[in-house]
Amino acid sequence: MFIAHRAPNLKTVLLATGVILTLAMGVRHGFGLWMQPISQANGWSRETYSLAMALQNLMWGAFGPLAGMVADRFGTMRVVLVGAFAYMGGLLWMALVTQPALFVIGSGILIGLGLACTAFGAVSGIIGRAAPPERRSWAFGISGAASSFGQFMLMPVEQMLISSVGWQTALYMLAALVVFLMVPMSFRLREPAHVKAAGHHQSIGAALGEALRNRSFLLLVTGYFVCGFQLIFIGVHLPAYLKDKGVLDPQVAVTALALIGLFNIFGSYMAGQLGGKVPKRYLLSFIYFARAAIIALFLLAPLSPLTVYIFAAAMGVLWLSTVPLTNGIIAGVFGLSHMSMLAGLVFFSHQIGSFIGVWLGGYLFDLQGSYDVVWGIAIGLGVVAGLANLPVDERPLVRGQLKAA
C-alpha cells in the first residue's frame, strides 16, 4: 500500500526552505571570488580551480536524484541535515587542502553532496506537497526568490570577509554559518505522520522509466543543460574576465554578481506568478532566447562598469527563473509522488552543463588566453534551448492502471 504525506504547513515550509536556499545558493554564488586568491596562494593555474568547481557541479547533479529519492521516501529533514554537514566539510576542505588533486576531488564531492541535499531538487517535493495546485507555481517562485536573495545578500559579505580576514578565515566563517543556520531550519521540515493512500503506487523504477521515455521531459533536460552551462560559466569566470579586460576594481565584479541575485529575486517571483497564467513552455523559451541576445549585446557593447551592471541586471531577471517553471511542469505532468527525484534527475542535466561550462572556461582560457569561444558557445546554446522548450507538452499524463505495490 502506498504511503502518502499529509500536506505540511506552507508558510513553515517556505520559511525554512527559504533560509536553507538562501545559504546554499548564496555561498555557492560567490565561489568565483576565491578563484584568484586560492590559485595565487597555491601556485595553480585557473584550470585547477575551475576543475574543482566543475566537479562540484557535476557531483551536485549526480547526487541530486538520490537526494530527491531519499527526501520523497524518508523526508526532507534528514536530507538537509546530511547536506548541511557535507557543505560545512567542503568549505573547510577548500580552506585547508593545498594538493591540487585532493582539493579538486574533496571539495568537489563534499560541496556537490551538500548542494544536492540543500538546494532546489531536495526541497522541491516538500514545497509541492505543501502548496495547493493553484499556488504551486507561485510557491516555487518564492523559493527561487529566496535563493536569489542569498546571492544578492551574501556576495558583498563574502567579498568583505575575504578582504578583511583573508580567504581562508572567510571559508571557516561561512562553514560555521551554514551549519548553525541550516540545522535548526531542517527540523522545521518534519512532515506529519504518513497516511495510507487509496489507489495504486508507482514504483521508483516505473517513475524513472516513464520520465525518460517522455519527450517533454527530455526537452526540459536539454534546456536545463544549457541553463547550467550559461549560469556557472558566468558566475565563476565573470570576475576574472572583467579583470582581464581592464576592469581592475574588484568591486565591479562583486556588484555585478550581487545585482544578478537582486534582480533574480524579481525574476524568479514573476516567473512563478506568470507560470500560473501563461504556458510555462513559452516562458522558458523566451528566457533562453533572451539570454542569448543579452550575452551577444554585452560582448558587442563597449566594456565599462555601467555596461557590466546592465548586463548583470538583465541576466539576473532570467537567472533562476527557469526553476519554478521547470519544476512546475514536472509537478503538473508527473504528479508529486516522485517530485524531488524527478526534479533532481532533470537538474543532473543542468549540472552536466555546469561542469562543461566552468571547466571549458578555464581550459580554453589557459589554451587561448581568452573566453571568446565559450561566450560564443553560450549564445548558440541559448538558441538551441529556446527552440527545444517550445514543443513541451504540459498536460498531466493519463496513466493506465498501475500495478499495486
Nearest to 160 by CA among 321, 339, 15, 33: 33
- What is the structure's pLDDT at 383? 96
Q: What residues contact 77, with CB distance under 8 A and at least 6 apart?
A: 186, 187, 189, 190, 191
**Predicted TM-score (pTM) of this structure:** 0.76
Give residue 306's pLDDT: 95
C-alpha torsion sign, points 11, 15, 20, 26 = positive
Angle 185-236-48 from CA coordinates, rounded to 5°? 105
β-strand partners of 3: 196
Do residues 113 and 83 make contact, with C-beta atoms less than 8 angstroms apart? yes
Question: Could you tell me which of 320, 394, 280 has the C-alpha nearest to residue 120?
Answer: 320
Cell of residue 210, nine digits = 516513464
DSSP state of 398: -
Rounded CA gap, 352 and 283, in Å?
23
Q: Are 178 and 91 in contact (CB under 8 A)?
A: yes
Are 316 and 267 a contacting pair, CB within 8 Å?
A: yes
β-sheet bridge partners, residue 195? 4
For cell 524527478, what's the residue? 342
Taking the C-alpha atoms of residue 313 and residue 173, their distance in angstroms, rounded to an integer, is 29
User: What pLDDT score was predicted for residue 223?
Assistant: 93
Contact between 76 and 143 under an 8 Å Cβ cutoff? The reply is no
The DSSP letter of residue 103 is: H
> What confidence score (pLDDT) does residue 404 get?
37
Q: Are 141 and 270 in contact (CB under 8 A)?
A: yes
Residue 295: predicted pLDDT: 96
User: Reduced to 3 states, what is the DSSP secondary structure of residue 195?
Assistant: strand
- The full set of domain ranges for the chain reads 9-193+204-389
pLDDT (tens, 9 = 90+) of the chain, 405 residues, equals 334 445 678 888 999 998 999 999 889 878 888 888 998 899 888 778 888 888 887 888 889 888 888 888 888 899 999 999 999 999 999 999 999 999 999 989 999 999 999 987 788 888 888 888 878 878 887 877 787 787 778 878 898 999 999 999 999 999 999 999 999 999 998 876 544 444 446 788 888 888 889 999 999 999 999 999 999 899 888 888 898 888 888 789 888 988 888 898 888 888 888 887 889 999 999 999 999 999 999 999 999 999 999 999 999 999 888 988 998 898 888 887 788 788 888 888 988 898 888 888 888 888 888 899 999 999 999 999 999 999 999 888 876 544 433
CA distance 355 to 56: 8
Instruction: Report pLDDT for 399.
Output: 63
Q: Which H helix or E strand runs over 161?
A: helix 136-165
Helix-then-strand count for the chain, H and E: 16, 2
Taking a C-beta distance cutoff of 8 angstroms, is the pair 137, 275 a contact? yes
Contacts of 28 (CB under 8 A, 6+ apart): 111, 115
Cα–Cα dist 148/159, whole Å: 17
The amino acid at 142 = I
Instruction: Give dist(CA 70, CA 256) in Å, integer.
Output: 37
- Rounded distance, CA 349 to CA 354, Å? 9
Architecture per CATH, domain 9-193+204-389, reads as Up-down Bundle (1.20)
Q: Measured at the alpha carbon of residue 328, what is the angle toward residues 324 and 333, in degrees to the nearest 5?
A: 160
Q: What is the pLDDT of residues 55-79, one digit of tens each?
A: 887 888 889 888 888 888 888 899 9
Which pLDDT score, from 0 to 100, does residue 400 have?
Answer: 56
Angle formed at CA 147 by CA 145 and CA 148, multiple of 5 degrees: 60
